[in-house]
Amino acid sequence: MTDWLQSRGTQHGKEIAHRATYYGDNWPTPLRELDMPHLGRRVYVKDEAANVTGTFKDRLTATLVRSISEPTLVGLISYGNTALSLVNRIKTCPDFGQRVRVLIYVPSDLDSWTLGPTSLGTTVKGTEILSVLSRHDCVRLLPIPADGAFLDDAAIERAARTAFNDRSSPFVNITEGTDTPSYEIIGTEIIDQLGAVPDLILTPFGAGMLANETRDLVEDPDQRVLALSVGNRNSLARMLYGPFWLDVAALNQIGYGTTRHSSPDRLGRIRQPYRVHRVDEDQIHEALARCAKHSVCAEPSGAVPFTFESSQDLPVDFARDEPYQTVVLINTGNSIDYLRRSRGRSGEGFSPTVAS
Ligand SMILES: Cc1ncc(COP(=O)(O)O)c(C=O)c1O
């Protein structure tokens, strides 16, 4: 797989290829054609469930592993997937666990959650996620404060320094990514695998990092990238509930909300607000059923791009009478089935996967 990346010849491609070899990642992830003729003449799934821990968050944690060379404090807010990916890196990447100490803010009621069902019907309890996350001395967990205030860089840094009694090590908050793009490569792989820029890409939106970096790749993002989110904290796709990055009140009232990213962002890029469209609970159920029908393995958040069967059903900015020519649905993944499988096998969370 990495030969393909090497062959692209670009510096970025070579760097990614190096990481893919070193960390055991399985890139590029597959782009598989689907039979959805009313949506597009050619419709594909970009399947990020093929990542080691089942989600596209492995792209972010690979960037982090590579960027850290000295002892560093890392902080993040996670509903589970980034945290699970990071813990797997700690287990499997040589020396990474010695270099980092990680403070993770998780939902205060994660222990009462059941996540899923996935398109395979699997669920996982929040307590199982907590038990996988709690197994490393270099990882501390804190509950996200119930008052709903945003945890900014300074607040997370203070908490990390207190938790590890460390005033001097460098600190990085990866809640909104790092200062190197991690997800742009997903769109780059799509364009390379197709040999063209698709007419329409559908992507989930939580903090909006994937949507932002996908938009960065195309010339007319308002026409080509449809970002989808939920307006309810208890949604089946709760990983996508992002009130700090999106006008959720408008999302609920009129079916779309505009984004609220800081600009310039961590990548130094100017961020103009753009529209994100709402997906309701019954649509998420339909999307999961559609994933099952097309043999796509997705958790609810990953399944939301499968909400629409026909171009006429798309949100008004994107709706058309005729099917699109080329459509790509990004399945951001499914850590639930990976967690279930690997725990079933080893009884202790993700099993080591990395070679040299
Ligand atoms: C499976 C899945 N899909 C989508 C998202 C949203 O991604 P982003 O925060 O980049 O918008 C998340 C975030 O946690 C996720 O776990």
Let me know whether 63 and 29 are in one domain.
no
208 lines ligand 1 (CB under 6 A): yes
Q: Which domain covers residue 116, as residue numbers?
A: 57-178
Return the ligand 1 atom nearest residue 82 CA: 14
- Number of structural domains (the chain) is 2
Let me know whether 37 and 97 are in one domain.
no
Q: What is the CATH number of the domain that holds 37?
A: 3.40.50.1100
Let me know whether 194 and 315 are in one domain.
yes
Q: Which two tokens stand for residue 206?
A: 């939580």
120 lines ligand 1 (CB under 6 A): no
Name residue, tokens 């449809």: 226
- Per-residue pLDDT reduced to its tens digit, 268-293: 999 999 999 999 999 999 999 999 99
Q: How far away, in angstroms, is 184 Cα from ligand 1 center? A: 14
Q: Which of 29, 46, 48, 55 to mutate to test the pocket of ligand 1 (most atoms within 8 A of CB)?
A: 55
CA angle (347, 349, 355) in 5-degree steps: 110
Let me know whether 224 and 236 are in one domain.
yes
Asked if residue 352 is part of any domain, the answer here is: no
Q: How far away, in angstroms, is 35 Cα from ligand 1 center? A: 25
Pick from 353, 330, 344: which is nearest to 48 by CA?
Answer: 330
Of 121, 143, 178, the position where a domain reaches its end is: 178
Asked if residue 302 is part of any domain, the answer here is: yes
Q: Which two tokens stand for residue 266?
A: 């961590």
Asked if residue 199 is part of any domain, the answer here is: yes
Whole-number pLDDT of residue 14: 62
227: three-class secondary structure by DSSP: strand
209 lines ligand 1 (CB under 6 A): yes
Return the ligand 1 atom nearest residue 208 CA: 11
- DSSP conformation class of 230: -
Asked if residue 211 is part of any domain, the answer here is: yes
Return the residue whose CA atom lies nearest to atom 15 of ligand 1. 239
The model's pTM: 0.93
Return the ligand 1 atom nearest residue 333 CA: 1
Q: Which two tokens stand for residue 310?
A: 């026909």
- Per-residue pLDDT reduced to its tens digit, 18-57: 666 668 898 999 999 999 999 999 999 999 999 999 999 9
Let me know whether 186 and 332 are in one domain.
yes
What are the DSSP E strand ranges found in 233-285?
Answer: 256-258, 275-278
Whole-number pLDDT of residue 348: 44
More confident residue, 4 or 235: 235
Return the ligand 1 atom nearest residue 209 CA: 10
205 lines ligand 1 (CB under 6 A): yes
Q: Which two tokens stand for residue 217?
A: 């790749």
Q: How many residues does the chain have?
A: 356
What gap in Å lies between CA 219 and CA 237, rounded to an integer? 29
CA 46 to chain centre: 13
Asked if residue 348 is part of any domain, the answer here is: no
Percent of the chain at pLDDT exceeding 90: 85
- DSSP conformation class of 307: G
